[in-house]
Structure 1
Amino acid sequence: MKLIILDRDGVINHDRDDYVKSADECIPIEGSIDAIVRLNKAGFTVVIATNQAGLAKGKFELEDLEAMHEKITGLVEENGGELGGIFYCPHHPDDNCKCRKPMPGMLDAIEAEFNTSVESCYFVGDSLRDLQAAVQKGCKPALVRTGNGVRTLAQLAVPGLQTDSPQVTPEQVQVFDNLAAAADFILASNH
């Protein structure tokens, strides 16, 4: 199985400092929906793994989150693609759960759902947490410059700045302007 894991906010849709709280605020980044469709049509199972602490913080309700995910799923399907699944952590950062990235719980759930290993699959994210989760499970970490990507790139460049483990080095990470560029690279390297 060819699997690709994507973070949501800042990778597929524009992120917001005050949380993406509704389907109306869930606005795709240019080219991201097409990138998912192209990957899917090339035989990849595309899944989303997203921290959604806004639920625990009362910023939005489960119905709002489901509406956001229905919107993304609908846009992908309207363009001829399919999402393999959407996995999310609903917990507060202080809950010390096993599913909130950088912890590997969501990736473990993806492995269980698809009866496969996520090792060596691409994990495209915009934050250090995404990259750490990827490295922990042996995924290929890819960073996009959209969302928090530029700030994350700066974090990677400063040794000792990372407080959580595992430590991620710039050499481990492939960097792309956006999800469309990451998809171009992945598709070109899979021929």
Structure 2
Amino acid sequence: MSDFIFERGNFISLYGASGSGKTVTALQVIKDSETGLFISTNGSIYRERVKTMNISKAFFIEVGGILELLNAVMRAISMELQPIIVDDINTYYRISGKSNDLLYPLSLLKEYSKYAKVLILWQMSFNNRVSGEKFMRYFSDDILRITKTYIIGNMRRIKICITNKGVDVCR
């Protein structure tokens, strides 16, 4: 599945409705890579999944604001971790409405994506729009939408099965 996600570049955006499988898919990418950094802007919701998916070699950071997010990204870059995953990049932008809350972390991550894989998750609003969509389109090498059963990209898709142990490709 990681090959599908990173098929068209190193800086990938993944968006979908709440409960569509964004976080578990990102955790599966970390599990497949056996290392990397998962940055959560949503607290510790992901922790139970990490236990059931048996992910042990990756790093996990929970951030509580834009400065903590920037600091976590800088530490990951200095440690040369990959992939770096941010779940969800637009959390603080949705709260503040300040474009710098997206511009700064996206710029750092885009530069790092020249050398490493970066997966960015985006929350959708209740009106099925991505808050910060113009930023997403500008920075991303590829944009994927996830439903509970498919990951859909530009002229391609893959069927997925979400289980307690992670995400598998279905036939």
More strand per residue: 1 or 2?
A: 2
Short-chain TM bin? 0.3 to 0.5
Higher RCO structure, 1 or 2 (CA under 8 Å, sep 6+): 2
Highest Rg: 1 or 2? Answer: 1
